[in-house]
Structure 1
Amino acid sequence: MNLPIPTGPHTEHNMFHTRSEDILAIAWHPYVDRLALAHKDNTVYIYEKDPESPNWTCTLLKHKFMNNITCLEWKPKAGGILAVGCRHGVCVWDLYAKRVKGAASVSTNSHHETVNVGLHPTAWMSYFRTPGQDHISSIAWDPSLSSNVFVAASTSTSTLVAYDIVTHLATPLKRYGKGNVLLRWSPDGNWLYSASMAGASRLWNTKTWTCTKFSNPPGLWVKSACWSPDSKSILYSMRGKRDLHILSRRTSDKDVVWDISKVDGYQTTVHVGERVVPIGIIREITLDPNNAERLAVIYEDSDVVGLYSVSSVNSLTGKTGTAVTPIGLVRGAAVNSNAVGQLGAIPMTGARPIHAAFSPSRKQGAILAVVYDNNIISFLSHQYVSKPRS
């Protein structure tokens, strides 16, 4: 891509140089049991469950352009298209080798002489880059039917860039300010939420590409965010803070109005072995994208995952709107074998959760994948009393 955009000094956000974990990001496929993990060795691991057995297979995606991975996102309503954000651009992989004419694509098969076996046998990669947009921080796909567009954010410029993976056209969305750290596209395709390093967030109307700006307290920026399935609210947390915020949409007679509310988080300590572990500062949040009844929270330097109940009606006031209530904490479990070979679960020690994501493919209940800093992935099943959403 040869689309120059205005940029200041190449700012490298601390999200790039303070991360010491092996696993940098995870993403569930929209409708099958397939989990992508970005590793610090510049490799993406694709884990896929065999539908006929409890077994999982693993294949790799690797390319010389895929350096310093920061984020990844599966394309909605697609069989196997994965966008991987890197230091200088975005690698878009098609696992089923539907090669686009004119794309700068490279088959993983061409690198068998330099990469260990295990590469995905049919994947092809197209590389998208705009000069000046380095340090890709977040990617969001347009979920609209038949759309082939994703938007990339960068910590080096306030300009977002929208790419069409079929036409290979790039369109800048220019705004003044510092770089951006986060993007989230609403499930209905009508809203794009962006959060900047300057402490401001913008909500883009994707029909008109106009935006509404929201300011955070000085020195704070949004750390993590997730949309509700009905696209009427987005939950988010801010750097160094323990409370959650909800940006909710209500329609007035003349316009769409967005309200901000706050939910107090856990401010306690828990006993983990002989240690007393403080919890509270939020690192990452994830919401069940189907039933929207559970919110999971990962904390900084904590061994537990916080769980919240989410409902569309406040049980105390009876008013409609997203209501979030703490319901408990979860510790990781490790598998242990006794003297006669029987397997059992014991509390995991010496490891802390670093990433979590709900599977979008589960219609009954929910499955939460939790990645720990010892590279163990655990799966937590949720069963709901209420009826699932249609």
Structure 2
Amino acid sequence: MQPQSASVLSVCIITPCSLCLYRSQSASVLSVCIITPCSLCLYRPQSDSVLSVCIITPCSLCLYRPQSVSVLSVCIITPCSLCLFRPQSASVLAVACQSCVLIWHVEPTSLATRPSTSSCQVLQQNHHAPVTCLAWDPSGRTLLSASPVDTSLMAWDVPMETYVPLRRLGGGGVSLLRWSPDGSKVFSATPSQLFRVWETKTWTCEVWTKCTIRCKAACWSPDGRTLLIATENEPIIYSLTFSTNMDDTSTVIGGSQSAVVSVSLAEVDLKTEDGETTKVGGVFQSMVMDRHGERLAVTLHDVKGQVLPYIALFKTRTNPMLEITPCGLVQGETGEYPLQVSSQPSFDRGALLSVVWSSGALRYVPLYFIPCDEIQNAQYHQPAPPTLNGNILSPIARHT
């Protein structure tokens, strides 16, 4: 189903090499042939539409636009591992490749099935390969790229094709990047137990070194005050809190001295509605928080590395203090497990998850709720009851 749209588009995977799209209003069926199932879902900035990205072969990338029902096939020179749209732009796509970063300028309204070579920029630096991590700042002005074998982060000015290396010794390269939604901080994990949090005014950083093993997953709260992290072999979410009392000239990050255990997902037995007992829990694979900071979606894997066939959901609050409460599980069809989970950045009725499953299916999971800030604003702006000479007038009619 297309979110915030009057038309319904149901997506049905017919075979591993065919995708059937059915439009309920026009009763028309469009069959799009792809070589492999969908493996990644991206939202275009400033748009409610979804662009599902299907990695076809190590040398090509298929972009599918649900609204225009068109397929854009882009030839990639080297294998790619990640792609991200530039914030505030619906046409600039950064692709992390084996030896460089490709910047594709894809015109959203173009009917061309393959862009010309002039629409691509190549950002490349010696010894900065393979590129496996990318992060745009929320304004779209700076792109960070990282490699697990290079100790430097590269801060790119994309239009000028210039960069500034951000180098700190210790920990090896960079295996994970997360830019805070408020733009003030960047989390970078290394292949070792060490991770850093950078402030983005003068690019100084604070270091944490007491993890038992490397960080596997991380996400920021919308206000940039709270960082959630999970390590590679523990069923635990840790949290770090950061000061928000910094002025415009401050370069102090203000992070807490040590991470606090916030959630444990050690394996437990859970009874289902059918009366059966199932085991729930495992090690964290990935996590994503909605734009309101009130829902957290987590994927897990077992001790053997097999991804578990469900998504764990949590209710969260970050103000005045962090609260995380389990609230449910999302399962796919029999035999499916989640590959990638993302949250629509502009859904205004709660949170909307887009889940890519191992079968290649892309499905939406709406989580309807009224955000706390909207409730507080409604209470704040509620008009006071009418008064007369200091006495509150009752809305209840008087009976004689």
Given the two structures, how large is their TM-score scaled by the length of structure 2? 0.73
Mapping of residues 119-198 of structure 1, within 5 Å: 119=114, 124-144=119-139, 147-177=140-170, 178-198=172-192
Distance change >3 Å, CA 139–CA 38, structure 1 → 2: farther
Assess if the C-alpha contact under 8 Å between 1:156 and 1:179 holds in 2: yes
* Compared CA separation, residues 230 and 265, structure 1 to 2 (3 A): same
The answer to whether 1:384 aligns with 2:396 is: no
- Correspondence for 1:11: none
Residue-by-residue CA offset, 1:85-107 (whole Å, 9 max, x unaligned): 11111111111299xxxxxxxx9
Quote how far apart the aligned CAs of 1:210 are. 0.6
Tell me, yes or no, if the aligned pair for 1:63 and 1:108 is still in contact at 8 Å: no
Shift of 1:183: 0.8
C-alpha change, 1:309 and 1:149, in structure 2 (3 Å) is: same
* Correspondence for 1:91: 102
Q: How does 1:336-375 map to 2 (within 5 A)?
A: 348-375=333-360
- The residue number in structure 1 matching 2:32 is none
Per-residue deviation, 1:277: 5.2
- Confirm or deny: 8 A CA contact 1:24 1:69 kept in the other structure: no
In the TM superposition, 1:46-57 aligns within 5 A as 46-50=63-67, 57=69
TM-aligned CA distance change 1:275 to 1:322, over 3 Å:
closer
Map of 1:293 onto structure 2: 294
Q: Which residue of structure 1 aligns with residue 285 of structure 2?
A: 283
- Report the counterpart of residue 257 of structure 1 in structure 2: 254
2:62 corresponds to which of 40, 45, 55: 45
Q: 1:31 aligns with which of 46, 51, 63?
A: 46
2:132 partner amino acid: S
Q: CA offset at residue 375 of structure 1? A: 0.8
Worse-superposed segment, 185-194 or 39-48 = 39-48
Distance 2:117 2:277 in 1: 48
Q: Deviations over 1:59-89 (max 9, x none)?
A: 2342242x32221211111132111111111
SS in structure 2 at match of 1:250: coil
CA contact (8 A) 1:268 1:280 kept: no
Query: CA contact under 8 A between 1:37 and 1:44: conserved in structure 2?
Result: yes
Q: Check whether the contact 2:199–2:253 (CA below 8 A) recurs between aligned residues.
A: no
Per the alignment, residue 63 of structure 1 pairs with 75
Q: Is there any run of 5+ residues in structure 1 with no aligned partner, and where?
A: 1-20, 51-55, 99-106, 110-117, 314-319, 333-347
> Cα 1:64–1:329, aligned 2, differ >3 Å: closer, same or farther?
closer
8 Å contact from structure 2 (residues 349, 370) kept in 1: no
Query: Which amino acid is the alignment partner of residue 34 of structure 1?
Result: V
Query: Retained in 2: the 8 A contact 1:40–1:68?
Result: no
How far off is 1:180 after superposition? 0.7
Q: Quote the Cα distance in structure 2 between the aligned partners of 1:215 and 1:25.
A: 32
Give the Cα separation in 1 of the matches to 2:116 and 2:364.
Answer: 27
> Which residue does 1:329 correspond to in 2?
329
Shift, 1:36, TM fit: 4.1
Partner of 2:382: none
Highest Rg: 1 or 2?
2
Instruction: Give the whole-Å Cα distance in 1 for the aligned partners of 2:358 and 2:277.
Output: 18
Deviations 1:304-344 (A, max 9, x none): 1100101124xxxxxx2222111111112xxxxxxxxxxxx
Aligned partner of residue 79 in structure 2, secondary structure: coil
CA distance in 2, matches of 1:365, 1:277: 29
Alignment partner of 1:303 out of 299, 304, 309:
309
Gaps of 5+ in 2: 1-35, 302-306, 378-400
Pair 1:64–1:358, CA change in 2 (3 A): closer
Alignment-mate amino acid for residue 212 of structure 1: E
Q: Quickly say closer, same or farther: Cα 1:163–1:256, change in 2 above 3 A.
A: closer
CA distance in 1, matches of 2:322, 2:147: 30
Task: Give me the whole-angstrom Cα distance separating, in 2, the residues matched to 1:386 and 1:285.
Answer: 20
The root-mean-square deviation of aligned C-alpha atoms, in Å, is: 3.0
How far, CA to CA, are the matches of 2:146 and 2:100 in structure 1?
A: 10
Tell me, in whole angstroms, the C-alpha distance in 1 between the residues paired with 2:101 and 2:39: 16
Measure the CA separation in 1 of the matches of 2:158 and 2:189.
24
Compute the displacement of 1:369 (Å): 0.7
In structure 1, what is the Cα distance between the partners aligned to 2:322 and 2:104?
A: 36
Letter in 1 for 2:179: W
Instruction: Write the mapping of 1:227-266 to structure 2, written as runs, cut at 5 A.
Output: 227-250=220-243, 256-259=253-256, 260-266=259-265
Q: Judging changes above 3 Å, is the alpha-carbon distance between structure 1 residues 269 and 138 closer, same or farther for their aligned structure 2 residues?
A: farther
Q: How many residues align?
A: 323
Q: Provide the rounded CA distance (Å) in 2 between the counterparts of 1:371 and 1:123.
A: 32
Matches of 1:31 and 1:305, distance apart in 2: 27
Cα distance, 1:28 vs. partner?
Answer: 2.1
Amino acid at match of 1:48: R
CA distance in 2: counterparts of 1:143 and 1:305, whole angstroms: 27
Kindly provide the amino acid, as one letter, of the partner of residue 57 in structure 1: V
> Distance between the aligned counterparts of 2:117 and 2:99, measured in 1?
25
Q: Is the 8 A contact 1:45 1:58 kept in 2?
A: no
Whether the aligned pair in 2 keeps the contact of 1:364 and 1:388 (CA below 8 Å) is: no
Distance change (3 Å), C-alpha of 1:44 and 1:31: farther
Whole-Å Cα distance in 2 between the matches of residues 387 and 120 of structure 1? 44
Structure 1 counterpart of 2:193, from 183, 199, 205: 199
Are residues 365 and 121 of structure 1, via their aligned partners in 2, closer, same or farther at CA, if it must alter by over 3 Å?
farther
**Distance in 2 between the 1:275 and 1:60 partners?**
46
State the TM-score, normalized to the length of structure 1: 0.74
